[in-house]
Structure 1
Amino acid sequence: MVAEQGMRRHHFPHRVLLHDGLAILSADGLTVQDDVTAKFVGDPVRLDLAEYSNGYNDLFSGMGILKEIDLAKIPNFNAQDIYPPFFSGEMWRWDSKQWGIPWVWGVDTIVVKPDAIGFEITSYEDLLRPELTGKIAFMDSPLTVWPQMAKIASYGDKFPNLTKEEVADVFKKMIPYHEQSKVFGSSAGYMVSLFANGEIVACFCVWTALPIELAKQNVKTVAIFPKEGPAVCLVHSQDG
């Protein structure tokens, strides 16, 4: 059983080419990261492999639920062919052991419904315009939203090594964005629903694949790369 953290909950078969032939894997798309964690700590564990977001490595390691990956069984994942930070990054390799394998990366940034806004978004500051009051949303993602918050508060170069006082200052400077927001959502899939239902016209920082998913529902949205820049996200797989 393979679990994938994704846009919507669904169940579908995957045909995967393994090093010794073809195999059919049963895969389940999970709505939020907590669903992956819950399946990892179940008794019995109901997963053979799971996708999880970078940043959860310390949590999973501390919970003692990770299994070392035997790289001899994955010959195409090797130091010669893989970008070095992806091959031996500290988020999936520590204590000289491989615990996860990165397989997809991208950026999170502002996504807007341009036809409903009527002006160009070039900075996070534009989300504070009165025309957008109650029409934007935040996704609950410390892995990408928090770095963007630090940039806005002028701590981008120092993040994540902020003092308690600096963290407090970040949250203070984010109060106007909080007051501007309609809702805080748990997943990218939830943001899709909010856009499709016409409840929001912009999201503070979210996966850039949202416009693709929304286009399937005939809803036009675009990803905006503001002057502050986007946030990098990375997803990797873990043996359960």
Structure 2
Amino acid sequence: MTNMHNKIFAEISRRNLLKGAAWATAGLASARLFTTTAYAAGGELNIMAWEGYDLNVELADWRKANGVTVKSSSMTSQDDVHTPFLAGNPPGIDVAEYNHAYADLYIRELQIVKPLDRSKLPNYSGDNLFDAFFDKPTWFSNGQLWAAPYIWGMNSIVYNPKRLQAPTSYADLLKPELKGRIAIWDEPTVMWPIAARVAGLGEKYPQLTRDEVNAAFTELGKWRDHARLIALNMGELINFMVSGEIDAVVCADPAIIVQAQQQSVELAIAYPKEGAVLWVDAWFMPVSCDNEETAQAFINEALNPEVQAKVAMAVNQAPVSKKAVEFLDEKSRERFAFDQVDQMLKAGLPGIPPAASDSDIASYGDWLQAWQSFKAGK
């Protein structure tokens, strides 16, 4: 292992690894027990994905037709994917998601990504995908395709429209009547950009100094002190929204709207003046993948236009396939300006802090340490 890798691992592991170690033991220890014949089509596929994004429903027919059995583990944060690799015992994952901001860390720094064989991915094409998602450096570099973007969207304020009017600013959630009625999501890729924005440092994110990071979390502390809870995952957010214990989430995945609807509770999304958090998620094969043939077939099917439309509608987000737009329902087509996708994505996607820093710019580890202190109320 190079000195650079040692330094990166040390920086990231400053997050005491308790959450990652617990997840690796409880969530993926069982996954290591499952093996498949290498390169055999069909068989068992171990997937790590966000709750509701694992294509369990959308690819049911494909699994049945190909004799594929899926074991799916849910992510509660992006750290759940890479943390087990830091322990030196790669988990048995065949396919996992990474947020666009983690591309450089996963591909070039940690080197936990196995390149894809484009000949196995006919749906990954300029004819099928919006230009913003085809062969861009976030997924394609040095002549190799490292991951296939498959869903994109934005996280923003989610609220109960029967309890309050649509917030126009994150500050609206600090009204006295909402004391103890809001929640924060324990997901760095969502909350860190928000912390920077409410502190007036949004344009600098993620290149904030350590002092600026402290200032950002001090400002975000107003929302923490106003909140009922810092939710560990989307399931917890849904439960508190459905039970009526909270009325709004500072910034959340709109997928909880669909899941709340299934429990007869109507939620809505608001777009504050400070902006929603844009993101793109991609499927990749970790270096521990031992069922490449099926993993790549899965990724290819995830880019099928009709599958793309189904998952986008299921989670209130948007497809990367331009051909999928015709399969969306009217409400889903109106949610995004699909004729302006390339322009929207060019406007910029929030990244993550540098894995290591030799200057006063805060590293990823510095942010994690500050986030842990924030959650502890310090």
Q: Into which bin does the TM-score normalised by the smaller protein fall?
A: 0.7 to 0.9
In the TM superposition, 1:74-93 aligns within 5 A as 74-79=121-126, 81-93=128-140
Q: CA RMSD in A?
A: 2.9
**Separation in 2, partners of 1:236, 1:81:** 16
Whether the 8 Å CA contact 1:49–1:237 is kept in 2: the answer is yes
Structure 2: gaps of 5 or more residues = 1-44, 287-378
Q: In structure 2, do the counterparts of structure 1 residues 219 and 42 end up closer, same or farther at CA, with 3 Å as the change threshold? A: farther
Q: Deviations over 1:139-165 (max 9, x none)?
A: 122212222222222222222222222
Partner in structure 1 of residue 225 of structure 2? 179
Q: In structure 2, do the counterparts of structure 1 residues 128 and 49 end up closer, same or farther at CA, with 3 Å as the change threshold? A: same
SS of alignment partner, residue 60 of structure 1? helix
Q: In structure 2, do the counterparts of structure 1 residues 120 and 237 end up closer, same or farther at CA, with 3 Å as the change threshold? A: closer
Identify the match of residue 3 of structure 1 among 47, 53, 68: 47
Task: Give the aligned residue type for 1:114.
Answer: P
Whether the 8 Å CA contact 1:111–1:205 is kept in 2: the answer is yes
The yes-or-no answer on 1:56 pairing with 2:102 is yes
The yes-or-no answer on 1:126 pairing with 2:172 is yes
Q: In structure 2, do the counterparts of structure 1 residues 58 and 165 end up closer, same or farther at CA, with 3 Å as the change threshold? A: same
Partner in structure 2 of residue 25 of structure 1? 68
Whether the 8 Å CA contact 2:139–2:146 is kept in 1: the answer is yes
Whether the 8 Å CA contact 2:99–2:280 is kept in 1: the answer is yes
**Separation in 2, partners of 1:108, 1:11:** 20
Q: How many Å apart are 1:99 and its aligned residue?
A: 1.4
The yes-or-no answer on 1:232 pairing with 2:232 is no
**Separation in 2, partners of 1:156, 1:214:** 31
Q: How many Å apart are 1:203 and its aligned residue?
A: 0.3
Task: Give the aligned residue type for 1:50.
Answer: A
Whether the 8 Å CA contact 2:46–2:92 is kept in 1: the answer is no
SS of alignment partner, residue 134 of structure 2? helix
Q: In structure 2, do the counterparts of structure 1 residues 9 and 72 end up closer, same or farther at CA, with 3 Å as the change threshold? A: closer
Q: How many Å apart are 1:185 and its aligned residue?
A: 1.5
Q: In structure 2, do the counterparts of structure 1 residues 46 and 121 end up closer, same or farther at CA, with 3 Å as the change threshold? A: same
SS of alignment partner, residue 264 of structure 2? coil
Q: In structure 2, do the counterparts of structure 1 residues 39 and 178 end up closer, same or farther at CA, with 3 Å as the change threshold? A: closer
Q: How many Å apart are 1:125 and its aligned residue?
A: 0.8
Identify the match of residue 267 of structure 2 among 194, 215, 221: 221
**Separation in 2, partners of 1:8, 1:82:** 22
TM-score, structure 2 normalization: 0.56
Whether the 8 Å CA contact 1:109–1:204 is kept in 2: the answer is yes
**Separation in 1, partners of 2:124, 2:219:** 43
Q: How many Å apart are 1:193 and its aligned residue?
A: 1.4
SS of alignment partner, residue 125 of structure 2? coil
Whether the 8 Å CA contact 1:144–1:233 is kept in 2: the answer is no
Q: In structure 2, do the counterparts of structure 1 residues 201 and 105 end up closer, same or farther at CA, with 3 Å as the change threshold? A: same
SS of alignment partner, residue 232 of structure 1? strand
Q: In structure 2, do the counterparts of structure 1 residues 44 and 229 end up closer, same or farther at CA, with 3 Å as the change threshold? A: closer
Q: In structure 2, do the counterparts of structure 1 residues 217 and 42 end up closer, same or farther at CA, with 3 Å as the change threshold? A: farther
Q: In structure 2, do the counterparts of structure 1 residues 99 and 139 end up closer, same or farther at CA, with 3 Å as the change threshold? A: same
**Bigger helix fraction:** 2
**Separation in 2, partners of 1:89, 1:231:** 20
**Separation in 2, partners of 1:103, 1:86:** 9
Whether the 8 Å CA contact 2:185–2:250 is kept in 1: the answer is yes
How many residues are treated as equivalent by the alignment?
236
Q: In structure 2, do the counterparts of structure 1 residues 52 and 186 end up closer, same or farther at CA, with 3 Å as the change threshold? A: farther
SS of alignment partner, residue 162 of structure 2? helix
Is the deviation greater in 169-178 or in 89-98? 89-98
Q: How many Å apart are 1:173 and its aligned residue?
A: 1.5
Partner in structure 1 of residue 112 of structure 2? 65
SS of alignment partner, residue 174 of structure 1? helix
Aligned residues: percent identity?
29
Partner in structure 1 of residue 30 of structure 2? none
Whether the 8 Å CA contact 2:97–2:282 is kept in 1: the answer is yes
Partner in structure 1 of residue 254 of structure 2? 208
Q: How many Å apart are 1:53 and its aligned residue?
A: 2.6
Task: Give the aligned residue type for 1:66.
Answer: V
**Separation in 2, partners of 1:10, 1:80:** 25
Whether the 8 Å CA contact 1:112–1:222 is kept in 2: the answer is yes
Partner in structure 2 of residue 113 of structure 1? 160
SS of alignment partner, residue 88 of structure 1? coil
SS of alignment partner, residue 166 of structure 1? helix
Whether the 8 Å CA contact 2:103–2:138 is kept in 1: the answer is yes
Whether the 8 Å CA contact 2:52–2:255 is kept in 1: the answer is no
